[in-house]
Structure 1
C-alpha cells in the first residue's frame, strides 16, 4: 500500500504499522486538526495473496464495515472513538482515536498480580463502556483482554468491534468469537445478547483475579474449551489466589452462570456493584444483580478514609510501574504501603495475599534471600496471624 501520499487528503502515517492477521494499524498525523490518530486498514489484497477464499474475504469486508458502524453508534470515555472511514489505494480504512497505553493482556502477562482495587475499577469501566454500547443496541461479541486497552493514565478503552452485531437488526446465528471468553449459548449457534457479553466480562474478571481464564488455555483445542464452557464449573478465583475475598467468588459465580437468565440484567448493574466495591469492598449491592442474600465478610471495614488511600496507592503503583518498571524501589515501597493499608482497612487476608505476591516478585527480581523478599513474607505471616485472631 502506498503511504507516501496523504490518506484521505489529510492523514500522514508516521512510524510503522502494528500488523494483524487481517489488517494493519498505523499511527498517523491528522494534518487538518493537528492530532495523532490511528488508521486501521483491512488488508484485502494480502488475504487474497495468502489464498483466503472469496467468501471469507467478503465476510471480512462486511465485518470491517460493521465495525465502523458499531463504533460510530457509541460515544463514551471507555470506548475507543471513531472519526471517519474511507478507502485508500484499494484498501478500506477506519480513522480511530489513538490510544497511548497497552492492552490488558500485556498487564496480565508482564506485571505483578493486579491489586483488587485496580481489578474492580477496570471491571467497572469495562461495564460502563459496554452499557453505553448496549444502550445503542450494539453487542460487542468479543470482550477479552486483547480488546481492552489501558491508557497511560490507567483508564479503560474498549476496542475492536469487528464482531459486533445490532440488536435492532435481524442477525444470522453465528458462532464467531474467542473460545476462552465465549458464552455457553453462543457455542450452540445462538447470536447471544447483552448477558452473553457479561459472561465474557466474567471470564476477564476471573483472569484478572486468578491469573488465568476460567476454562482452558490458548493452546487447547477450541471445541474442548467450548465443552468446558457449556458443562463445567470453574474453581473459584480464591482457589488460585489465596486472599481473594468471598464476594468476588460470588460475583464470578453469577456472571458465569450457564443459564443467561441467571446472569446480571445489564452491564450497568454490574458497574454499580463494582462502584460499591471500590468504595467499601462490601457485597450488599450484589442483591441488585442476583437477588441473592450475601453476608458481609467478618472484619471488613468500610471506612472511606482507607478506601480512598487504597485507590490513591493503587494509581501511584500503576504510574510508578509505567515510569520505572515493577522492580524499582519506589514501586516496592508503594506496594508495601498498599498491603499495610489494606490490612488496616480490615482485610487481613487481602493484605497477606498482597505481601505474598510481593515476596515472590522480589525473589524473582532480586534473588531468593533478598531482604525485601524476606520482609514481605514476614508481612504475610503477620497478617495471617491477624486474620486468625479476628
Structure 2
C-alpha cells in the first residue's frame, strides 16, 4: 500500500480538476486519479455562470477562457412558434463584475488539464486509475484502484470523490441507490457552424418544458460565423431511448428531427440548423435524489458525484466549481482539522445544491415558458395579455437567488473560498 500525505482527488473532470487547482493554490499536495487512460476534449457546449467565472478568475484562468469562449449578453425566451416572451441581460451586460461564458466543454477541460499539468506536474495526474473501493481508517482514507498493472491501494488524509454521476465513491456509501432517475425527457445536443443567430450574443430558449430548443454560440469563427451549440429536447415514453447517460453517445437524427420540422422562425430555421451539424449526442434528463450525507470519515463527495442535477439553468459545471472552492476555503479556515473542515463544507454546500436539484425538477427558470404554453398554445397578439412582467421576474429572480448568482451576491467581488465563515 502506498502511504501519502497528499489529498487524493478521484475524477479528472471539471469538478476534480478545479478542486486540484484550488487546493494546490492553497499549498496542499494533491494527486488526481482518473479512470480513463487519456484526457480528451469531449462533449459540446456548456455555460459558466458569473459566480463560477469569479472562482476561475481567482485561479488565474479567466483570460484563457475568454479567448476561447463567447460571453452572452442576453437570454431570450420564445414560444414554439418563435414568438418572443421575455429577454433579460446576462453577465457584464446585467451589471456583474464577471461575464457569463459559453464555451465548448472540451475547451474548458483542456484549459483546466493544462493548468493542472503546469502547476501540479505530470506525476500528480494519474490516468488509468479506476476507483473500485474507498473506506475510512481513523484519520486516513484508503482508496483502491484498478490499473493496467493490477490493483493499487493508496492511504491518504483525505479522498475527494469527484467522479461524476456514476460515482464509484458515492456507490460505496449508497450501494443500493441504483441508476439515476429519468424524468422522461431526452436531449440531443450538437454543434453547428452558422451565421450569428439574432445578435450573436443571445442565448435562446424556445418552446416549453415538454419540448424545447436551446441554443447559444460558444466560439466566434473567421468570416463572422460562429460555432453554435444547440439542444433539442422532448419528453417521451420510450424507455428504449433512455439508456445509460453519456455525453458522447451518438444520437440519430431520425429519432427527433420530425418533432422540430415546423420550428421555422423568421429569425432561425431550427431543423436546418440541426441538420447542418455533423452529428448529435443523446442524453436522458436524469438526476438523483439529494442525500443527507456526503462525508464519511476522511472521504467526501463533490460535483455530480454529490448532487447530480438536471442540465437546466446552466448549473452543472458551475456548482461543481463552487463545491471545489468552498471545500478549499473550509480546509483553509480549519487548518489541521480536516473533520471540521468537511463538516463545514457540507453545511454550506449540501443544502444549497439540494435546493437547486429540487428547483430544476420544478421547471426552474423555464416555468414562464410553461405558463405561456398553457395559456396561449396557439399564439398571441400581445405577450402582456398572457403573462405579466412580475410573474416572470418572480421566477427568474428567485432562481438566481437559489442558484447563488443573484447580482447582489456577487457585488463585493470576494471569492466564495474566502467567505466560508460568513
The TM-score, its normalising length taken from structure 1, stands at 0.26
Q: TM-score, normalised by structure 2?
A: 0.25
Higher strand share: 2
Higher helix content, 1 or 2: 1
